[in-house]
Every structure is written in structure tokens, then in C-alpha cells.
Chains A and B, each alone.
Chain A
């Protein structure tokens, strides 16, 4: 049977796990941008009880945050990745789960070699308790025949208190489970396919399950059929070797509009650094960098403008400096003075594996070697000390403007000796 582990309110849980003073308190993690804006990415149940939701723009709910003294953390991805890595290792060390794999930063899949329902429940509960003791992160576990059904089981584990965070969904209970399951929550269907299905009279997960395969094939693509098979208990999805992303993008909407080329340059540098890092994390190189820029479409009283430009390299690269320079020169190409800009971004395309780079005849291989070494050093520094520890001179150095009264610094208690927990 497939075991699915899902961390509850993961980012917020990571921040709370090493802060005894915040246990049981409302805590929010947001992707704070240069101006202190951004949206809520994760929140504890105490924060949810205040009416806050994922996706709320921070500035819009600032009053609720401040009135209730909600602790607001800027997202600290390297820290969450460390928690995720630890969780993974802890489960592997238990030696009960086979093929235990990470699916995303807060989701894991594995196999339990038994079909006995009581035994499955007991094992999953044991794993849950051990993970929670060793990481401090609360998790929910679902057990069923396929990955998709495992996620259905986890949904029940999360939404019904009586399950105590663990739900085993055997073959004979699939139909009952799907009867009350929201169709848009089915893995692989999502918000885009749900209205399409509703228009042909499929409103619940059970109706989807009961529809003939030929209809599914007509309504949706091959992935829809895979989902349908998975719901019938036929394993049809592979989670190994996630596909290399074909383009990588990093963009932001600014809290305050800006007309300054210098400010835009520093933003674009930040975004270029972020995409270059993502590119190296998937062991890839790119041939083209594009920068796009736009004004605020909601401000019809202002002049509207949007454009993008692409810079191509003669040889594929993953060097932050090259990508950043290319992104900035593209920005300078499309920038028009006197306009109020609201959004910008950088995306990389023509992505390939870094194993088979086509060497440019005129490119010095020693130079490439040197660049690879520098980038590896850069990544290990930012892994260790955070994204802001090493910067290109063109990046932004401004601190978020803090109108929040309980804005917290996210410490790296597990990776920086200056940030470790202190005990009295």
C-alpha cells in the first residue's frame, strides 16, 4: 500500500518548531518583498482562527495581524528545505517504509509492505508520532492503493479530527470516500479541469469515478485518464525523476509602483539570482534569458506599457553573473522613462541538462570550469547562511519596510552557528 505524508501548514510549522514562545500562537509566513508586501504563504491554525487565509496580501490584512500581535515571518526556504531533508532521513532511518521519496518540500510518498488495515494504521501512526517527536512538525498520513488515493486518504486525515491524523483507505471504502470528496481536490484535476467536468455533469469525485474511461478520455487528456485509473486503485502515475522544468520564471508585483531604472535594476538582479539558483538546483543550463516589465493595468488613469526582451547566449550557462547581466541588458532595452511600473520578472528558456553542454568554439573551457566552481561556492554559502549572505553588487540591499509590529527574523537554527537555539 502507498503511504502519503503531508506536513501541516509546513512553513509556519518550521518557524514554530524551534520557538517555544510561539507554540499555540498565531504565526504567519509571507513572501515579503522589497517593500514589505507579499502574500501569506502559510499560517498556523491559530492564525486561521482570526480569519486570515493563504494568499491574503499582507498589507491588506496588516490591521488584523497587528491587532492580534500575529508573528509574521519572511519565508526562509533554505530552512524549510533542511526540515524537509531531516524528515525524509528520519523516516528512512526507521526502515519500515520502502521506496520513501520526496514529492515536494512538504509531501512524501512511500510503500508499506502489508495489506492488513489495522496493521497499516498502527504503522502509519507510529511513523507520524516518530516524525513529530524528532522534527516538531505535525504531519498527516494517508494510506491507500495508489498515490492519488493516498492523497485522498490524507485529506480525510486532515479534515476529520476522529482520524487523529492518520487515515487508511482500503479498496472497499473508495466509493464512500469519493462521495464526499470535492472534485477539485482530486490530485491531477485541479481548478482548471473542475469547471470543464461540471459542464458535462460531473460535479463530485464519485461521479468522475463512475464515468466510463472512454468519456474521461474525451473530456480530459491522458493525464485525466491516469487520475481516473489511480482512483480505481490502478497505479498509473510515476513520481520518480520529476521532469526538468522547461522554463523557469521569477516575477513579482511591487507593492509600490516605481519609475526608477536603478530600482528596477536591483529588482531584476534579485530575480535573476533566484532563477539562476533554481536552474542550478535542477542541474540545468539555459541558452536564453528574458526580462519583462509592465505598468499597473488597474490604474487606467496612468499610461499603460508592457514589454519583454530576450538575450541569447552563444553557449548554455548557469552562471549567476552571466544571467544577471543578460537580464539587465534586456531590461535596459525595454525600459521607458516616465512610466510607473508595477510588475517585472525574469525567465529562462531553452533549458537543457548541464551534462551535455555544447561548447562554443571560442569559449575558454578553463573559464567555464572556473565559473562552475564559483557558482558551487555561491550555492554552498547561500545554503549555509541564507540567500542574503552573498550578493551581486547590482542586487537590492533594502530591508523590507516594516509597518508590521510583530515582524520576526527567521533564524537558521540548524545551519548557522550564530543562530542556534539557546537554553537556560
Chain B
């Protein structure tokens, strides 16, 4: 049996400017090139993959260790989408007490709590009159490994 490789590799686009007009391609006389639009495959475009709502997305850098148990470390970049509603399954960037805070928002019995991803930090329960502004929801975590 043929062994599957441990990873699959995909071509990657590095330039996602608007496509070049076809008139730039020199026209050859003679045998036609079989590479036609219909057969062309587009390389993977990270912009398209990571950024769903382009105009509502922000890149945010992580500081500190409050989310290490969620696999998010200092220096990681987050793709934050403002066009998404937070749930208990999502991590949210909140505007809270004059700061940006990365939290999981949990609601139980009418109370709202903000959870960190590090046992060092206790959940913060919102006071009844306290305002919580959700800036956006984390879609992707970009981590530099090398």
C-alpha cells in the first residue's frame, strides 16, 4: 500500500494585486498553447483564505500571556473580524475598561464573565452597569515559528 505523505503541500500566491490584463501577454503565431483560462488553476491566496470580510478585518498583535492555554502567545498576530458575533466558542477582542482585552465571553444566569486562557488570571465578572464593547472576533491566529 502506498504510504500517504504526512503533509500536503499547496502552491501559494504571494502577489494578490489585481490580475494583469491579458493584453500584456505576447501573442505567438504557430501552435496554440493549450493553457487556456479554463484549465488554469489559481494558486492559494492567503488573503482570500484568512480574510473573509476584508473591510471589517483588522490585524492585532498579542501582548502578554493571558491566552497561553488557548495556544496564543505573545507576539502572535490575530486576524480579527468585526463582522462576527461572539459566542462562547469564540475568542473576542473587547474594548473594556479603557483597554483592548482578548477574552472568551461567557454568559450564565444573566451575568457576563470574561475568561482568560491562563489559570493565573481569574474570570472577570462584569458589574451590572458596566459597558462591554466587543471590537471583533478572532478568526485566525498567525504564529511565527521560524
Contact = CB atoms under 8 A, between A and B. Distances in A.
B95 A23 contact: yes
B102 A134 contact: no
Contact of A134 (B66, B77, B82): B82
A89 interface: yes
Interface stretch (A27-35, A361-369, A390-398, A412-420): A412-420
B100 A85 contact: no
A21 B78 contact: no
A422 B100 contact: yes
Interface string B107-129: 00000000000000000000000
A20 interface: yes
Contact of A90 (B55, B77, B102): B55
Interface in A153-175: none
Interface residues of B, number: 26
B143 interface: no
Contacts of B101: 423-424
A421 interface: yes
Contacts of B77: 420
B64 interface: yes
A417 B59 contact: yes
Contacts of B98: 20-21, 23
Contact of B55 (A21, A89, A420, A421): A89
**Interface of chain A, helix or strand or loop or mixed?**
helix
Nearest to B134: A133
Interface string A7-21: 000000000000011
B61 A421 contact: yes
A134 B99 contact: no
B84 to A, nearest CB: 10
B93 interface: yes
A23 B102 CA distance: 18
A424 B98 CA distance: 12
A54 interface: no
B86 to A, nearest CB: 12
A90 B56 contact: yes
Most buried by A among B54, B77, B96, B100: B100
Contacts of A420: 58-61, 77
Nearest to B82: A134
A93 B56 CA distance: 10
Nearest to B99: A20
A423 B60 contact: yes
A423 B62 contact: yes
A244 interface: no
B69 interface: no
Interface string A373-417: 000000000000000000000000000000000000000011001
B83 A133 contact: yes
Contacts of B93: 421, 423
Counting chain A CB atoms within 10 Å of each CB, which of B61, B77, B78, B96 scores highest? B61
Given A21-B99, A423-B101, A424-B102, A93 B60 contact: no
A135 B58 CA distance: 10
Interface string A197-223: 000000000000000000000000000
A117 interface: no
A312 interface: no
What are the nearest 4 A-B pairs in CB distance?
A89-B55, A20-B95, A134-B56, A86-B55
Given A86-B56, A89-B54, A136-B135, 18 more contacts: A20-B95, A20-B98, A88-B55, A90-B83, A93-B53, A134-B56, A135-B56, A413-B58, A414-B58, A420-B58, A420-B61, A421-B60, A422-B62, A422-B63, A423-B60, A423-B100, A423-B101, A424-B64
18 contacts: A20-B135, A21-B98, A23-B95, A90-B83, A133-B82, A134-B55, A134-B83, A136-B135, A413-B58, A417-B59, A420-B59, A421-B61, A422-B62, A423-B101, A423-B102, A424-B64, A424-B66, A424-B102
